[in-house]
Structure 1
Amino acid sequence: MKPEHLPLLNSVSAPAVHPDGSRAVVSVTRPDFLADSYVGQLWNVPLDPLKLPRRMTRGFLDTAPSFSPDGLVLAFLRAAGPSAKPQLWVVEAEGGEPQQLTDRLLGVESFAWSPDSHRIVFSSREPAEGRYGSSEGVGREAEDPRFITTYQYRMNGVGYTKDKPTQLFVMDVPGLGDEPRITPRGRTQRSPHAADAPDEEPRYVDPLPPARQLTSLAADHHSAGFSSDGSYVYFVAAPPENDEELSAGIYRVPIGGGDPIPVRPADAARRAVQDVLQSKDGAWLFFIARGLGDSGRDFVARNAVLYCMPAEGGDAVALTDPEMMDVACPGGRIELRGADRALVLNNAQGTVELLELSATGDHALLVHGDKVATGAAWAGGSLLVAFCDPSTAGDLAVLEGGQLRLLTDFSAPLRTEAEVVVPQELTFDSGDGYPVHGWLVKPAGKGPHPVLLNIHGGPFAQYTGAFFDEAQVYADAGYAVLMCNPRGSAGYGREHGLAIKGRLGTVDMQDVLAFLDGALKELPALDAGRLGIMGGSYGGYLTAWTIARDHRFQGAIVERGFLDPVSFEGSADIGWYFGAEYTGGSRQEIAAQSPMEHVDDVRTPTLVIHSEDDLRCPIEQGQRYFTALKRRGVETALLVFPGEDHELSRSGTPHHRRQRFEHILRWWSRFLPTAANQEEPPSA
C-alpha cells in the first residue's frame, strides 16, 4: 500500500439489522482526496447469497444507521459537506427520499429509537448563549472570556466542553407517508426602494419536527437509550460536583420530563460507567464500567467490565472477569440478543472477540481468532458482525452454525490495486523470560530488509493482526515492520497492564527491545545493522525514552508524544490526573520517568511530529523536545500539522494523512534508504 491508496480504505460501521432478520444496513466510509474529507453512504446488505449489496443513499457522509423496532423506518446521521455538522435523517426502510429531522447548530452525536418506533432520543451539544455562533454576529474572537474553576473543561477533538455540554432531546418521528407541505406563491421581502421582486416559486417543504430538551445538568450526557417500556430514558453522565474524580454514573429521566434520577448499584464502588442498556424483558440493566479505586482516579490498567443489576436496583454482578477481560473496545457498545442477553466486544491477546453473556451468567465466545470484531447486532434470528482481518479494512458477515459467512468485500479494490501483506504472528521471551506477543509485516523479497520497530500508544491499548495502514505503507516501501504488545498494554490481563505503573520505561522498554532482538536473531530476512524506531502518544514517549539509552538506531520518529509529565499536567486535557497515576506525583518520581530529563543522552536523528490542536498531548511537548534536541546538536526536524488534533494518523484530513506518510518515508529514505524508498537527490 502506498500513501495515495488511502481512498481505498473502506471502513464499515456496526450493522443495523432489520427486525425480520433478512438484511442489514451499514455505513461504508473512506478518505477522499478531492473533498479532502471523509465520504460515505449507507449500503443495504441482504443475507440471501443470491442478492448483492447495494448503495441505498447518496449523501456526502451518511453514518450510524438504525432501523425502527417495527422495521418501517431507517434513521441515520448525514453531514451535507466537509464542514457541515451531522444531522438526524429518516427514510422509509424500503427506500425513498430521506427526510431531515434536525438542524442543530453543533450537530447530532448519537440517537436511539423508542420501543414503539414513534420517538427518537438524540444527543447534541447545546452551546451557551454567545458561544460558537449561537448569537448572530459574534465571532470566536469576540466571545466573552471563559471563567474556569474545574479540572475537566476541555477534550481533544472537541475543545471546550463546559460551555457546550452534550444534552439529550426527544422528538416524535413524523409519518413519512404524509404529503409534504407546499409553500405558497409569494413575493420575496425586499426594500421598498428596490425594484419589484419576482414571484417566489412554490416548493415542497418538510418542516422539522419540534425537539424537546430532556436534560440540563452541567455535564455531558451520553449512551442514551429508552427503557423497555418506553417510559424512561437511561443515560450516563459524570456528576457535576465530582470534579476531582473520573466517576460517571447511570441516570434515568421520565420521557415526559423531570429531574434525572440516579440509578446506583447497592455497593458504593467508584466506577466510570461508559454504556448502559436495559434488557428487552425489562428486568435487568446491563452496563459497562471501569473501577476507580478509593480515590476515584485510579484508572491505570482497569479493565472495562460488563455488569448486570436488577432494573429496580440491587447488587451489580460482574459478568466478565475484571482481571483478564476488557470489554471497552473503541466504538463497541452493548447490543441486546433475546430477552436477557447482551453482546459485547472484548480485547483479548491481540484480537477483539465477540462475546454473548446472559443476566443469569451464561456466556459464549462467538467470534475470535484473526477476525477482529468491530461491531455486531442481532434481530429476527440473525447475528451480523462487522470485522477487520489481515486483508480487509472492514467487512460484514453473518454468524451461521458457529461460522462467519462473508456478505461483503469492500476491500477488494484495495487488494487489487495495492499489495497487502499478511502479518506474521510472533512471540519472543523478554529478558526475565516474560513472553512478548506481536507481529512482523515483511516486504516482498529475500532481504535483508531494514527494520522499523513501531510502538503503540495508550499505553493501555493493543496492536492486533488486522489490516493496519501504517505497517502496510512502510512494508511497501521496503521496511520490515515489527509491532508488539509489551507490558503495560491491554488485552493480556490487569497484571500485564499494571506492570508499568510508577515504572514507565522499565519492563515496557525491555519488552519491545527483546521482541526486536528475538526477531533479528530468528529471522535472517531482517537487517540488524539498519534499524529505526517510531511511535505515537505513549509510543512517542517510549521511543524518546529508548533512544536516550540505546544508540543502535539509525533514526527515530517521535509523534504526538507524552514527553514531559511536568508541563503535561497543566496543558493536556487529561493532564490533571494521567501523569500522577502513571508516574507518581513527586518531582523525583516524575523526573525518573521523564524523557525530557534524559534528552542530553539522545544521539539518534529524530523527526518530531505534532498537531497544532492536539489537546491530549499538547504541541508544547513536541516543540520543547525538538528545541532540546536541536540545542544539543542532534539532527532533528519538527513537522507540525495545522488544524489537526491527536487523531491525525487515524482521522485527520486525507491530504494531511497522505503528507504525513510522505514526510515519514522521506525521513526514512535519508537514514534507512531502500530500493523502493531512495532519498531524492538535491536539486541543481
Structure 2
Amino acid sequence: MDVPTDPRPGDLPEPVALTAGDTDVGAHRWLPDGDHLVAVSAVHPGREEDLLRDAVVVDARPGADGPTAPRPLTDGAGTSTLAVDTVLPSADGRTLWMLASDQGPTRLEFVASQTGLFSLDLTAASPVPHRRTDVDAVDLVPGLLAVAGDEVLVADQRRGAVVLVALPADVAADVAPADAPTGRVLVDSPAVVQAVAAAPDGGRIVVTAAAPNSAGDVLAVDASSGTTTRLTDLSADLRATGRIRTPRELTATAPDGYPVHGWVALPDADRHGAGPHPVILMIHGGPYAQYTHALFDEVQVLAEAGYAVVYGNPRGSAGYGRAHGTAIQRAFGTVDTDDVLALLDAALADPGLALDADRTGVMGGSYGGYLTAWLTTRTQRFTAAVVERGFLDPVSFVGSSDIGWFFGLQYLGDNDTPDAAGALAAQSPMAHVGDVRTPTLVIHSENDWRCPVEQGQRWFVELKRRGVDTELLLFPGEGHELTRSGRPRHRVARFDHVLQWWSTRLPT
C-alpha cells in the first residue's frame, strides 16, 4: 500500500495482499524498482516431500484480479537442489545475493549441508545460481547478509567463533567454489557475530557480537581499516561483579587420533578453594551446532556454584568443516562419544586444572540429551546425569517431531528392513535403557514439539521401573527453547532445580 506523507488516524489505506495460496513467503527484500520484492518460498510441486526453497519475485502492485503467484528465480521444480534461506539484491538490482544450502540429489540431504553465498544474475533470461564460497570449508550463518559498496558481508562459523567476512562482489561467475576468495575478516575470533547491517556505499558497518565477557554488544566497523569500535557495553554491570569466569580453550585427541576442540571453565578458587573441583561435562544440541566463545549463562551458573565445566564441539558439530559435521551420519553414539570423553579426560589429566576425576557429572539438551543418555548406557563413570528435552527414541520421534520425518531417517537411517532396524537400535538410547544405573534428572517441556514430551516421559518411566534413582521435571506452557527464550520465572526455576540436583548427587 502507499503510505501518506502526513498520515492521520483513520486515514491509512487498507493493506493489500501481495501473495495468496498455501505457501509461506518470507525473508523479503525490496528490489530497487520499488515495484517488486524478492523473497524465499517453496513454490515447486514437490515441496511436501523435500527441503528445497526457491528465491522468488513478488509483484508489489497487484492488479484488479488480486495477487499473482510468486515467480521463482531458482529452479526447485527442475534441476535446482538448493534450500534458499536469505536473499538480498544489489543496489543496482542486477545481482541477487543468496545464502543457501545444497540438499543433494534426494533433496533431503541436510546433514552438515554447508550454507554458502550464491549470486544470481537478474539480467539473464534464465539465471543460474553460482556458489561463491567453498562447499566443504565455509558454513555461513543464515540471515546474516549485507552489501557494503563493492563487497558482500557474511558471517562464517569458525571453530567456536562467528567471524564477519567481506567478500568481493565482482568475482567472475564461473569461479570454482574451491578457488573462491576467502575474503577479508573484519571481526575475528573470539567474537560471535549475531547481526550485521551496512550502508550501501560500505562506509558504515554495524554488527552485534558476543564475546567471552559479553552477551552481546553493538560494534561499529570501519571497512577500510578493519578498526572496530564498541558502541555499547551491556554486560558491564555483570563484569563489575567480578564473577564472570573466562573459559580456557581445551584441545584433546580422540582414540583414533582425531583432534577435539573445547573449553573448560573453572570456579573461583578464592571462593571455592583450590580444588580438586567436581566436574560437569556439558553437551550441546543440534547435533549440527557449535558451542562458542560467547558468554554462556549455563556455564557461568555452574561455575558460580563451584563446578568445573567441560564443553566442546565433537564430531557432528558445526564450525569445523563438512567432514566434521557428517562424521556421525548413520553413526550416532560412536566418534561423538569418543570425542566428548576425550575432552573430559584431557581436562582431568591436566594437573593445572585441579579437577576431581572421581566426581564427574554429565548433562545436555536435545541431541545433547541424546548423548548424555547414551553415555549412561555405555559407562558407569558418571556420578549423576541431567537429560534435558532429549532425542531418546528415534523410532517414535520420526512420527511425532515437528522437525519432520526426514531428520531421524537422514541421521540414523530408516527402520524398514531387519538390517536397518538393527542399525537404528544400535544408535538408540531407548533400546539400551536397561543398562543405565546412573542417577538421572529428566527435564522436559510439555509443549516441546521438536523433541516431544513422550521422549522424556518414557525415559523417566523406564528408569523408574528399573529402580534407577531418577526425577522428572516438567514445565507447562514451554517448548523446546525453554533455556533460551522461556518465561524468565521458568528459566530461574529450572536453574534452581538443576543446582539442587547437582548439590545432592554431586556436592561441592
Q: Distance in 1 between matches of 2:414 and 2:122?
A: 40
Q: Cα distance 1:417–1:208, how it changes in 2: closer, same or farther (>3 A)?
A: farther
What amino acid is aligned across from residue 548 of structure 1 in structure 2?
Answer: T
8 A Cα contact 1:532 1:554, kept in partner: yes
8 A Cα contact 1:278 1:311, kept in partner: no
Deviations 1:280-319 (A, max 9, x none): 1211111111111111111111111110120134332111
Deviations 1:344-384 (A, max 9, x none): 11111110011112332353221111111111111261111
2:34 to 230, 249, 252: 230
8 A Cα contact 1:279 1:285, kept in partner: yes
1:652-671 equivalence runs, <5 A: 652-671=486-505
Find the counterpart in structure 2 of residue 506 from structure 1.
334
2:228 matches 1:404:
yes
1:220 to 15, 24, 46: 24
Find the counterpart in structure 2 of residue 628 from structure 1.
462
2:51 to 246, 255, 262: 246
Q: Distance in 2 between matches of 1:336 and 1:643?
A: 40
Deviations 1:140-199 (A, max 9, x none): xxxxxxxxxxxxxxxxxxxxxxxxxxxxxxx333325x5x4xxxxxxxxxxxxxxxxxxx
Q: Which has the higher contact order (CA 8 A, sep 6+)?
A: 1
Aligned residues: 475
Find the counterpart in structure 1 of residue 176 from structure 2.
none
Deviations 1:441-500 (A, max 9, x none): 111112111001000000000001110000000000000011110000001000000100
2:313 matches 1:485:
yes
Q: Cα distance 1:487–1:561, how it changes in 2: closer, same or farther (>3 A)?
A: same
Find the counterpart in structure 1 of residue 174 from structure 2.
none
What amino acid is aligned across from residue 233 of structure 2 in structure 1?
Answer: D
2:134 matches 1:321:
yes
2:102 matches 1:280:
no
What amino acid is aligned across from residue 307 of structure 1 in structure 2?
Answer: F
Deviations 1:389-439 (A, max 9, x none): 011111111123212111111111112246111111111111111110011
Q: Which runs of 5+ in 2 are unaligned?
A: 63-67, 172-180, 416-420
Higher helix share: 2
Alpha-carbon distance, 1:540 to partner: 0.3
Find the counterpart in structure 2 of residue 588 from structure 1.
422
8 A Cα contact 1:217 1:240, kept in partner: no
What amino acid is aligned across from residue 209 of structure 2 in structure 1?
Answer: F
Q: Distance in 1 between matches of 2:276 and 2:247?
A: 17
1:394 to 207, 210, 216: 216
Find the counterpart in structure 2 of residue 578 from structure 1.
407
Q: Distance in 2 between matches of 1:272 and 1:264?
A: 10
What amino acid is aligned across from residue 21 of structure 2 in structure 1?
Answer: L
Q: Distance in 1 between matches of 2:500 and 2:33?
A: 59
2:479 matches 1:645:
yes
8 A Cα contact 1:617 1:646, kept in partner: yes
Q: Cα distance 1:558–1:414, how it changes in 2: closer, same or farther (>3 A)?
A: same
Q: Distance in 2 between matches of 1:658 and 1:528?
A: 29
Radius of gyration: which is bigger? Answer: 1
1:254-293 equivalence runs, <5 A: 254-257=59-62, 258-264=68-74, 268-293=79-104
- Secondary structure, in 3 states, of the residue corresponding to 2:368? helix
1:550 to 379, 383, 392: 379
Find the counterpart in structure 2 of residue 168 from structure 1.
none
2:158 matches 1:345:
no
Alpha-carbon distance, 1:207 to partner: 4.8
Q: Distance in 1 between matches of 2:220 and 2:440?
A: 46
CA-based RMSD of the aligned residues comes to 1.6
1:424 to 236, 248, 252: 248
> With structure 1 as the length reference, what TM-score do the two structures score?
0.68
- Secondary structure, in 3 states, of the residue corresponding to 2:437? coil
1:519-558 equivalence runs, <5 A: 519-523=347-351, 524-558=353-387
2:195 to 368, 375, 384: 375
- Secondary structure, in 3 states, of the residue corresponding to 1:212? coil
Q: Distance in 2 between matches of 1:377 and 1:256?
A: 27
- Secondary structure, in 3 states, of the residue corresponding to 2:385? strand
Q: Distance in 2 between matches of 1:647 and 1:539?
A: 14
Deviations 1:576-621 (A, max 9, x none): 1000000110322211110000000000000000001111000000
Q: Distance in 1 between matches of 2:92 and 2:251?
A: 45
Find the counterpart in structure 2 of residue 105 from structure 1.
none
Higher strand share: 1
2:2 to 172, 178, 194: 172
- Secondary structure, in 3 states, of the residue corresponding to 1:600? helix
8 A Cα contact 2:81 2:104, kept in partner: yes
8 A Cα contact 1:455 1:539, kept in partner: yes
- Secondary structure, in 3 states, of the residue corresponding to 1:579? helix
Q: Distance in 2 between matches of 1:517 and 1:375?
A: 36
2:294 matches 1:460:
no
- Secondary structure, in 3 states, of the residue corresponding to 2:386? strand
Deviates more, 1:379-388 or 1:506-515: 379-388
Alpha-carbon distance, 1:206 to partner: 5.4
Q: Which runs of 5+ in 1 are unaligned?
A: 1-170, 181-204, 675-684
Alpha-carbon distance, 1:265 to partner: 5.7
